[in-house]
Amino acid sequence: MLTAQDVLDLQAQVDKVLMEESLMEYLLSIVQTTRQSELLSLGVSTRGALALSRAAKALALVRGRTYCLPDDIKELAPIALSHRIMVARPQGIRQRSFEQAERIIQDLVESVPVPV
């Protein structure tokens, strides 16, 4: 069982995980793509970008790394961003499922070139 101090220590370790500038630009390109997509009436906010960055760093830490990889961002983007968007609703459709939002994010992520 984790104590409150254990959680604070883990949070501090996440802050130390390295995300190179090229990966941050990649993440921001994904966010920008959501803002420009005709499939969305509302794209990801700055807070959403920060949440994805922190989640990717946490995933890297859990996997035993002190640095992020593009795959960390790609894996978490649909999960971390799907609830932060508003899917454009064509006339006659009242609701969009969470799974559809995840799929849209996944497709947008796949359209953004991965840094080399």
Q: Which tens digit of pLDDT belongs to each residue from 95-113?
A: 557 888 999 999 999 999 9
Instruction: Return the pLDDT at 94.
Output: 52
pLDDT at residue 23 above 90? yes
Question: What's the CATH code of the domain at 32?
Answer: 1.10.8.80
**Within a domain: 105:** yes
Total number of domains constituting the chain: 1
Q: What is the pLDDT of residue 109?
A: 98
Evaluate whether residue 100 is within a structural domain. Answer: yes
57 belongs to a structural domain: yes
Tell whether 45 is covered by a domain. Answer: yes
CA distance 50 to 52: 5
Find the domain containing 34 and state its range. Answer: 4-111
- Say what the pTM is: 0.89
The reply to whether 73 falls in a domain is: yes
CB 52 within 8 A of CB 68: no
pLDDT in tens, 66-99: 999 999 999 999 999 999 999 987 744 555 578 8
